[in-house]
Amino acid sequence: MAGNSIGELFRVTTFGESHGVALGCIVDGVPPGIPLTEADLQHDLDRRRPGTSRYTTQRREPDSVRILSGVFEGVTTGTPIGLLIENTDQRSQDYGEIKDLFRPGHADYTYQQKYGLRDYRGGGRSSARETAMRVAAGAIAKKYLQQQFGIQVRGYLSQMGDIRCELKDWDQIEQNPFFCPDADRLEALDELMRELRKAGDSVGAKVTVVADAVPVGLGEPVFDRLDADLAHALMSINAVKGVEIGDGFAVVNKRGSENRDEITPEGFLSNHAGGILGGISSGQQVIANIALKPTSSITIPGRTINKQGEAVEMITRGRHDPCVGIRAVPIAEAMMAIVLMDHLMRNRAQCNDVKSDVPRW
Amino acid sequence: MAGNSIGELFRVTTFGESHGVALGCIVDGVPPGIPLTEADLQHDLDRRRPGTSRYTTQRREPDSVRILSGVFEGVTTGTPIGLLIENTDQRSQDYGEIKDLFRPGHADYTYQQKYGLRDYRGGGRSSARETAMRVAAGAIAKKYLQQQFGIQVRGYLSQMGDIRCELKDWDQIEQNPFFCPDADRLEALDELMRELRKAGDSVGAKVTVVADAVPVGLGEPVFDRLDADLAHALMSINAVKGVEIGDGFAVVNKRGSENRDEITPEGFLSNHAGGILGGISSGQQVIANIALKPTSSITIPGRTINKQGEAVEMITRGRHDPCVGIRAVPIAEAMMAIVLMDHLMRNRAQCNDVKSDVPRW
Amino acid sequence: MAGNSIGELFRVTTFGESHGVALGCIVDGVPPGIPLTEADLQHDLDRRRPGTSRYTTQRREPDSVRILSGVFEGVTTGTPIGLLIENTDQRSQDYGEIKDLFRPGHADYTYQQKYGLRDYRGGGRSSARETAMRVAAGAIAKKYLQQQFGIQVRGYLSQMGDIRCELKDWDQIEQNPFFCPDADRLEALDELMRELRKAGDSVGAKVTVVADAVPVGLGEPVFDRLDADLAHALMSINAVKGVEIGDGFAVVNKRGSENRDEITPEGFLSNHAGGILGGISSGQQVIANIALKPTSSITIPGRTINKQGEAVEMITRGRHDPCVGIRAVPIAEAMMAIVLMDHLMRNRAQCNDVKSDVPRW
Amino acid sequence: MAGNSIGELFRVTTFGESHGVALGCIVDGVPPGIPLTEADLQHDLDRRRPGTSRYTTQRREPDSVRILSGVFEGVTTGTPIGLLIENTDQRSQDYGEIKDLFRPGHADYTYQQKYGLRDYRGGGRSSARETAMRVAAGAIAKKYLQQQFGIQVRGYLSQMGDIRCELKDWDQIEQNPFFCPDADRLEALDELMRELRKAGDSVGAKVTVVADAVPVGLGEPVFDRLDADLAHALMSINAVKGVEIGDGFAVVNKRGSENRDEITPEGFLSNHAGGILGGISSGQQVIANIALKPTSSITIPGRTINKQGEAVEMITRGRHDPCVGIRAVPIAEAMMAIVLMDHLMRNRAQCNDVKSDVPRW
């Protein structure tokens, strides 16, 4: 099937280019009867929006989303929800000079070779601007999960360059432009950002996403495991190069005796597994990490070729984030919420009648 | 959709429990006209097969695969290929004692809670025995990719516990029971395995998979990116807790100026991206790493509960690998081959007419 | 998967209610490099558009479609095409009185029971207004099929009430408001329509769709046969109650000796099969018929109940077609084009390398 | 996606050729906890089985089905159910002479052209023998629907040639080899069959399928309507050329005032719609008709060509039914049951929380 959809039962399909007329998406499969307004979506869109701090691109987009269908008298009807964000600050002239060359580390080359042509304005479809629609769609999932099941999906910046940010305080996250849960790291982050701006360079990041109150039983073995679907959804975010569930790559040099999560009548004693066993949620916190590469949109000159295959040197002008990982936090939350929502519906379809006397915590 | 299928156009659906009657799968969408025999599949099955060395479980299964359909006069017909492996060495009596309790670190608890019951014999459907069918299906993809496009998919053990194995020699891999590409590490690996056996413990591992000669253009942005689909496929392998494409988590503390892969008229200067840009293959090697947890099937006693919620202590008897990562090598190859095959067909469907004068290497 | 998409590789997903803000759709999987403008879509939209003759509803919608993405510099890019039609002539006040009751023969009752609520304005999502987006999406398929393969998909009104219209002249179809291919029937049709208007009643119709120059080989046995997918697509059109391929129900009392289409070195001698054998196109004309029920939106009073379960009598006010079958012609063409396009891509994915010396005509 | 699967949540994938090693299928998505034995499946298989009366092919296959997975201790586990029927009476020698020619009215020509080769033995994959697996899979759906919801899916022969069979008595159906509900027609049917045998000819048929006690609310507008999915499933049966829901093609010359099903506080007054409004079940009987063509496997010589394109005359030897419509009854039941099961699960996924005070009957 064509590649712009995600989810089976809660199904999100997006369209739109960075500098096209508009971005849009269709969210199909939303349960009926859920109160929903544009404001519900705007909150997360504003968290992702460019131009909100000096650390992100200065492109100024209000990113105002309109609900075009699927909501009647303030409540979802069960029919597909059409969403639209019109592009306003497009400044295509910024991009004329990259029309005929391939920015290294970007999708310019691969789009050109796959499709035989490309919309070069701001990366066209390959721009992370597309993720605005994911955030809007994810907000619908988040609202349903929270309201019907008390499930909360939250993310934070867990590392930027060498600076690690521990989860000290969830509340801190919304109070700084880094989504950093550790106030003691803010100064260091600010310093790194200023250094990068000066150097015209960028840096990678790690983002952690956590879902609380996920019921046991979500995930469809064998292939559509909850962890496999999370890996798919998170790896589909622009610039992501790695995905971990629970302890992730740290398990490589662990022993079974330390890594297994023992169980007592009061519950699990640890959560190395990140809340997923055999592809199915265990009722613990679901935890995932993603690694985001440093953007290649930097002002340090780099070598590349043009369409004729000639060597050229280029720098990326335009408006770019020195660390794209920051704004990835609401995107990663959205993707996890979409996956959980989809699996909640899938589980309900097949296992609706299941009852169990076995303890859950 | 139900969760036991992978791939859209090259579609693999598996069934079977560890100690059931048989394992089977249907491979749908295979192009017609490909010479194919059971021997083509058996080679990789034998590489994954238990009981082949003293480092793996002593369960002895010939794992003889039969082709039941889709091949006529030695050639694929384009119709679905049914594959079957009958279980022979089932020894269900080994598992009577775990009938009513939940092995920590296994899917026992989550299956019980999701489905309200479970086939407890050897983990039932959650056993890695299911992966035999993935290997068989993957062998079909591998054969087609190799024969029609010269694409080669190979994997190796890149780390076990603290022992790192560098890719020194592809030929070495088939000459030792660890799929280790560095002969200098064999002794250390052997020693670790013996130590684990003695301690009744297990250890994690990292496996690397590489595809050569992948053409530029495979992968469907936005959601069905090649990297996202690889992440899905690889994370769906039992015990995998992390997936990396190219440099993976190492990008977190890299700068854009060092991480971007510059391009010259002679080709890319590096491959930090692992052969994928914007979700589309770049024509470079496609490289992925996976982290496999240490199996929880160990003989060191651990705490858990039974169905009544009472605390019990247990050890896992039966026949288990101290490092499940070893046998994951052919499985990971199979999953990568399936994903590449699927995307090759998808790309052909949409972009069959595309011609490009831009250099490819 | 959620139900508002059709096609696997050429995938159309629609949204929008009759009296909502807008109708929209995403066409995913369009091959790159196809010249495409809004005018290409507008032609068929105008053929379907209400208010164009005195025989159709007097709702006046310009149905101007905008392309929001996926086309760059006049050419498709391979990325999803977002389409939008804003609703302008909504007159919701017409519908206040049906808010609390269920029009017989409409989806009011079933939507209410399925979703627990409904957008009652003009039928909401169940209105045939949704088909405008199908027509727009179908126009993309039609253009590609025509341009790349010379495939032409055309439909006509083959029966209305007792009046049968034979395919005498394809050119005639665009010259009368009935899509009738037989000029001799126009007077009778006009008379029937006037009679229906007077009586406040409606009548059923049969529409025939034909595709010329379809290559042999399209269709995926066993379930995704070309005929099965056509049946799905055509039955999904509002008011359709029957689908026939080729001779359809006339085969029931035929003998094998008269119904089989014999073959000679010059080609098939007949086409009872409607161009499909074993679910695969034979290279002959693909022919399908659909039966459309008389709309239940009539001014003759009818019995129904309200939300409280009380008996009420109602008439349908508002603006309605006495024969919805007429405007179904471009819709049916669109659906056949979408299915052919999808199967053309699917066939290319799997059977791209197939060569055959066997004659085709 | 490859074409050998049907259903989204209750998903059936089949494999196997008429004269291959075996037929098989995987039924994925079956709810856990349902008692299921091979005998449950065998009943319907025996109803479809060849060689049971003198009116059907004399191929003698026991069609004994084995359950290979997904059932543990007599109960479904929620994991995929693998089913297998080994072919025993294959007599491939019967088919040597059709190796190089294309039987008119069969899929020989289209398979050859699509795939470049074909398994010519008994039609290979295009043989209706494949439908045995549909019947087995459908029996699982039937059991669940009956047991959990009291839904009963039954079919009958409603016409053969010119002989119409009215639904006089459901019990009669299992008491004659024609699935005929009218004992008064048995003699005429027998006579027609004998006449056909003598003439070496075949005849078409109409089959009606009815589901009782279907709850209101099944079906996903817009494309995945219950009627559209039924049309897909039923048209995918070999030899089917037409599908009707409710009154079907009879609506063409009906008026809206007679065709709409009025509603009273006691329920609907009629069921012209066949139990589906707007693509969603209304709570009434779901009724569908299918038209089956007369098989082209007859002994009256017919013209065709061979692989070299030369004219040849041929007759079909081997063992064939003079009316394939008879044995289509259990197949059609199976397909309707699969579709209802799938939609029941889909409806549960999205609309599980919906409550309604509006009367249902």
What does the mean pLDDT of chain D come to?
A: 94
pLDDT interval class at A320 (50, 70, 90): confident
CA distance A73 to chain B (A): 32
The average pLDDT across A97-112 equals 94
CA atoms lying within 13 Å on the CB side of residue A259: 31
DSSP codes joined into one string, A165-195: -----GGGGGGSTT--S-GGGHHHHHHHHHH
Q: Is the pLDDT of residue B137 over 80?
A: yes
Q: What pLDDT is stored for residue B328 in this prediction? A: 97
Which residues of C are annotated binding-site positions for FMN?
Answer: 125-127, 238-239, 278, 293-297, 319
Ligand-binding site membership of D202 (annotated): no
- A 10 A CB-CB count for B293 gives 30
The CATH code of the domain that includes A194 is: 3.60.150.10
Q: With CB atoms and an 8 Å threshold, state whether A82 touches C1.
A: no
**pLDDT value of position D285:** 98
Q: What is the distance between the alpha carbons of residues D214 and D273, in angstroms, rounded to a whole number?
A: 14
How much is the pLDDT for C97? Answer: 78
Q: C10, C109, C339: which to substitute to probe chain D, counting the most D Cβ within 10 Å?
A: C109
Say whether C350 and B79 touch across the interface (CB within 8 A): no
At A97 the pLDDT is 78
Q: What is the mean pLDDT of residues B129-148?
A: 97
In this complex, the residue of C246, C259, C269 whose CB is nearest that of residue D294 is C259
Residue B92 confidence (pLDDT): 56
Contact call for B263 and A310, based on CB within 8 A: no
Angle, vertex CA D257, rays to CA D253 and CA D258, nearest 5:
60
* Residues A314, B350: Cα–Cα separation, whole Å: 32
For residue range D14-50, list pLDDT tens digits in order: 999 999 999 999 999 999 999 999 999 999 999 988 7
Identify whether the C-beta of residue D173 lies closer than 8 Å to the C-beta of residue D180: yes
Nearest by CB to B3, which of A205, A224, A274?
A: A224
Question: For residue D348, which residues of chain A lie inside 8 Å, CB to CB?
Answer: 348-349, 352
Please state whether A267 falls in left (phi above 0), alpha (psi between -120 and 50) or beta.
left
Residues 36-75 of B with CB under 8 A from A: none
Average pLDDT over residues C138-142: 98
Instruction: Look at A32 and D79 and tell me if their CB atoms are within 8 Å.
Output: no
In angstroms, the CA C52 to CA B304 distance is 73
Average pLDDT over residues C90-107: 81
Put simply, the answer to whether D22 touches B125 (Cβ < 8 Å) is no
Is residue B271 within 8 A of residue B261, CB to CB? The reply is yes
- Is there a binding annotation on residue D87? no
Mean pLDDT of A77-87: 97
D143 is in an annotated binding site: no
User: DSSP letters of C74-140?
Assistant: TEE-SS-EEEEEE-----GGGGGGGTTB--TTSSHHHHHHHHS----GGGGGGSGGGHHHHHHHHHH
Which of D24, D93, D89 lies closest to D62 in space, CA to CA?
A: D89
Give percent of chain C above pLDDT 70: 96
Residue-averaged pLDDT of chain C? 94
CB-based contact (8 Å) between B123 and chain D?
A: no
Q: Which residues of C touch A5 (CB under 8 A)?
A: 5, 11, 13, 28
Q: pLDDT tens for residues D134-178?
A: 999 999 999 999 999 999 999 999 999 999 999 999 999 999 999
* Residue A331 reports pLDDT greater than 60: yes
Of D163, D164, D187, which is closest to residue D177 (Cα–Cα)? D187
Instruction: Please give the residue that has the higher pLDDT: either B96 or B2.
Output: B2
Mean pLDDT of B254-269: 97
Count up the domains in chain D and report the number.
1
Q: What is the mean pLDDT of residues C266-279?
A: 98
Q: Which of D223, D350, D356 has the highest number of chain A CBs within 10 A, making it the mutation to test binding with A?
A: D350
Instruction: Please check the confidence at residue D269 and state whether its pLDDT lies above 70.
Output: yes
**Strand ranges inside chain C, DSSP E:** 5-6, 11-15, 22-28, 66-67, 71-72, 75-76, 81-86, 152-160, 163-164, 205-212, 240-245, 263-264, 267-268, 276-277, 280-281, 286-292, 302-305, 311-314
Portion 213-252 of B in contact with A at CB < 8 A:
216-217, 219-225, 227-236, 238, 240-252
Q: pLDDT averaged over chain A?
A: 94
Closest-CA distance, A345 to chain D, in angstroms, reads: 5
The answer to whether residue A102 sits within a structural domain is: yes
pLDDT at B229: 98
Report the gap between the CA of D67 and the closest CA in chain B (Å). Answer: 8
Whether residue C10 has pLDDT greater than 90: yes
User: With contact defined as beta carbons under 8 Å apart, do A70 and A77 qualify?
Assistant: yes
For the segment C221-231, what is each residue's pLDDT rounded down to a tens digit?
A: 999 999 999 99
Q: Is D296 annotated as a binding residue?
A: yes
Residues C138/C211, Cβ–Cβ less than 8 Å = no
Q: Considering the domain boundaries, does residue B26 fall inside one?
A: yes
Ligand-binding annotation for A60, yes or no, is no
**Closest residue of B to A300, CA-based?**
B257
Distance between A195 CA and the closest CA of chain D, angstroms = 50
Residues of B in contact with D16 (CB under 8 A): 68-69, 82
Q: Residue D315 — very low, low, confident or very high, per pLDDT cuts 50/70/90?
A: confident
User: In whole angstroms, how large is the CA radius of gyration of chain D?
Assistant: 21
Contact pairs from chain A to chain B, CB under 8 Å: 410
Round to whole Å and give the CA distance between D161 and D65. 33
Residue C293: predicted pLDDT: 98
From the CA atom positions of chain B, what is the Rg in Å?
Answer: 21
Cβ burial, residue D357 (10 Å; 0-12/13-18/19+): exposed
**A263 - beta bridge partners?**
A268
Chain A residues with CB under 8 Å of B277 CB are 105-107, 109-110
- Containing domain of residue C323, as a range? 5-351
Q: Within a 10 A sphere around the Cβ of A188, how many other Cβ atoms?
A: 17
C279, part of any domain: yes
The verdict on a CB contact (< 8 Å) between B124 and D77 is yes
User: Which of the pair, B37 or D98, is modelled with greater confidence?
Assistant: B37
pLDDT at B55: 74
Would you tell me which residues 88-117 of chain D have a C-beta closer than 8 angstroms to some C-beta of chain B?
Answer: 114-117
Nearest to B352 among C1, C221, C352 (CB): C352
To the question of whether residue D127 is assigned a binding role by annotation, the answer is yes
| DSSP type of residue B287 | E
pLDDT tier for residue B94 given thresholds of 50, 70 and 90: low
Q: Which residues of A touch C108 (CB under 8 A)?
A: none
Distance CA C9, CA D1 (A): 8
- Please report the residues numbered 184 through 203 in chain A whose beta carbons come closer than 8 angstroms to any beta carbon of chain B: 196, 201-203
CA distance B285 to B276: 9
Chain C contact for B354, CB < 8 A?
yes
Q: Please tell me the distance from the alpha carbon of residue A115 to that of residue A126, in angstroms, as a whole number.
A: 13
What number is the average pLDDT over the span D275-300? 97
How many other C-beta atoms are found inside a 10 Å radius of the C-beta of residue C115? Answer: 24
Predicted confidence band at D94 (pLDDT cuts at 50, 70, 90)? low
